[in-house]
Amino acid sequence: MVHCLVASWVLLGAAVAGPQTVVDRTRYDGYALIEVHAGDRDAIAALLATGADPWVDSVRPGFVPVLVAPEERAAIDAAGWSVRVVTEDVQRWVDEEFERLAVRPRVSEGGDPFADFRDLAEVEAILADLAASSPELATVIELGMSIEGRPIRGLHIGTGNGSSPTLYVQGGQHAREWISVSTALWIATKLVQGVAEPQIAALLGEMDVVVVPVVNPDGYAYTWTNERFWRKNRRDGIGVDTNRNFAVGWGGEGAGTEPQEDNYAGPAAFSEPESSAVRDYVAAHPEVVSFLDLHSFGQLILWPWGHIQEPAPDAAALEAMGGELSEAMYAVHEYGYSPIQGVDLYPAAGNAIDWAYGDADLRSYTIELRPTNVEEFEQGFVLGTDQIVPVGEEAMAAVLVLAEWTAQQDVAGTGGDETTTSSGGSSEGSADTSADESTSDGGVVTTTMDASASGATLTSAGSEDGTSSDGDGGENEDAGGCGCTSGPPSGLAGLAMFAMMLLTRRRR
């Protein structure tokens, strides 16, 4: 949904992260958050055709929370949809959040990093501080550059130097999902600061972790300065949904074809430098064997496929591990995270985990963080600060399970218990690591990724048109997926009791 609101849009020029200046921020006067009943996929498609902005990352049949402008609300009411009102005053939430953020103690002034949400400059400062505090363990890396010229930075944690199997974790792909950013930061912080703990020490002795808290830095910065509920990157001021821009299934069901749509897939697979940066990093680091994409909200654990109504080649193993991830998360605070194949909600073609699984042969999952719905904490994307730590703790429990599996994998003959092929798949959209033609809109940009984990360097040359030479938009429904066919680590028990737990998910 493109918001035609009373405040003007003042676009930020290409800039590195620094203290962010608030410009004339978009207002949501007259906007409402409502839940509209859409009982099946056809009804969901009809609802989204009204222009309503789904207030959840993974839309599923039932009461769908949507942000609506007055004209969209009128159309929904006139069509006779069953509606429940959450709030008639979305702007109040925005005002309250930014009033609090304006006086928050900044990390540079001694503030607790997890006492509140952090803007892009603070996120990068936290990563730099973690690396400085443990230089033998943590290194700041750059995957590439965004459309507006911001670096996409992460933290490599471990001592494997390219020989250890690696778990890749990212957040902030959808800009408004702030809890995914704080959660990725929590994971990075707890791994670095907890290295003396037996479990973490043992894991980091066998495997590495890469955490990229903000894979969409332009969009994230824009939510702080211009439009709080912006979702996409900042391509031409309209944006592309990078989680519809990956090659596997690109352009299929659940991906928008018009630039104004919130799930617009872009002109071609990997047309965007942000998605291309992820692709190129994985291609340059064959030690990466597992992939976790953090989003909000819905309290879900999703695995491939998300773009076609078919089980993945090793669906049983994916499902079993999804259950174990869910068990681990529930054990922390007794909040249920439902494990489900991604497509069983609503198709989302061109998403990151389908590509990671289908083209890069990685064990891959998406976690949709709290809340389960807008009734849980009322505000959905605008979570209270009291949720930052518990959500981080829940996600960390899942990371430890996935890390244990990762540590067992064999990379270039390191002798793990199981073998995973991580050399990339056969999809038409798979990476050509010699050149990346997706770059910023400021002309030709050449970026060199820090490949500290392996000692290698990957250079990608950009082009002005932002297209990708290998992203022909071909849909790949025959991708082989993860080469790992064995089951998850031991400890998956009590499935019947677990299913009952999900049905009686605890509310707070």
The backbone torsions φ and ψ at residue 216, rounded to the nearest 5 degrees and listed phi first, read -125, 70
Q: Distance (Å, rounded) from C-alpha 345 to C-alpha 324? A: 20
**Residue count (the chain):** 508
Helix (H, G, I), strand (E, B) or coil at 63: strand
Please give the full DSSP string across 110-156, using - where no structure is assigned: T--TTSS---HHHHHHHHHHHHHH-TTTEEEEEEEE-TTS-EEEEEE
Strand-pairing partners, residue 54, are: 66
* Tokens, residue 267: 């002109």
> What are the catalytic residues?
368
Please give the full DSSP string across 268-316, using - where no structure is assigned: STT-SHHHHHHHHHHHH-TTEEEEEEEEESSSEEEES-SSSSS--TTHH
* Tokens, residue 76: 């929904």
Q: Distance (Å, rounded) from C-alpha 289 to C-alpha 279? A: 13
- The contacts of residue 364 (CB under 8 Å, 6+ apart) are 290, 291, 292, 293, 303, 304, 352, 353, 354, 356, 357, 482
Q: Nearest Cα to 433, choosing from 234, 273, 280, 255? A: 280
Task: Assess contact for 500 and 436: CB atoms under 8 A.
Answer: no
Task: Assess contact for 465 and 440: CB atoms under 8 A.
Answer: no
Q: Distance (Å, rounded) from C-alpha 325 to C-alpha 5? A: 41
Of all helices (H) and strands (E), which one includes residue 358?
A: helix 352-358
* Tokens, residue 474: 């071909």
Q: Distance (Å, rounded) from C-alpha 27 to C-alpha 49? A: 23
Q: How far is CA 379 from CA 41, 59, 88, 311, 419, in A?
A: 25, 16, 12, 34, 43
Of all helices (H) and strands (E), which one includes residue 340?
A: strand 338-341
Q: Distance (Å, rounded) from C-alpha 234 to C-alpha 232? A: 7
Helix (H, G, I), strand (E, B) or coil at 56: coil
